[in-house]
Amino acid sequence: MTTQILAIDDSRTIRTLLTMALEGAGFKVVTAVDGVDGIHKFNEVDPDLVITDVNMPNKDGFGVIEDIRGGEQNRSVPILVLTTESGAALKERARAAGATGWIVKPFEDTSLIAVIRRLTGG
């Protein structure tokens, strides 16, 4: 079965880069344009892993993590934060909310894919 990833980012460029890298590695990718769209799609597709940006309109990445962890559906899904931010306080806030890991943009395809495979067994 193909590992399905939900990528949530308000940047079309980042969504495209993630889709190209991850589909090229054999993953199925569903994208969302902001946190509200991301939660809607999370509930629709029940992904094996979520990648979310922090700074987005309508609902930020922290809100996405909190909604997923507090929801009824697949609360244990791995959540990777992919952002330009690198401050220790933000990382701690994400961990406290339930994030599994933190990756700083720009990302390296091979490193991201290796982390995803380790977290999903895919």
Domain ranges of the chain: 4-120
Contacts of 17 (CB under 8 A, 6+ apart): 107
**Tens-place pLDDT, residues 13-32:** 999 999 999 999 999 999 99
**Tens-place pLDDT, residues 40-55:** 999 999 999 999 999 9
Look at residue 98 in the predicted model and tell me its pLDDT: 94
As a whole number of angstroms, the distance between CA 60 and CA 5 comes to: 18
As a whole number of angstroms, the distance between CA 84 and CA 88 comes to: 13
In this prediction the pTM is 0.95
**Tens-place pLDDT, residues 56-101:** 999 999 999 999 999 777 788 999 999 888 888 999 999 999 999 9
Report yes or no: 48 and 4 within 8 Å, Cβ to Cβ.
yes
Report yes or no: 63 and 20 within 8 Å, Cβ to Cβ.
no
Sign of the four-CA dihedral 18, 14, 61, 6: negative
CATH number, domain 4-120, options 3.40.50.920, 3.40.1410.10, 3.40.1390.20, 3.40.50.2300: 3.40.50.2300
**Tens-place pLDDT, residues 100-116:** 999 988 889 999 999 99
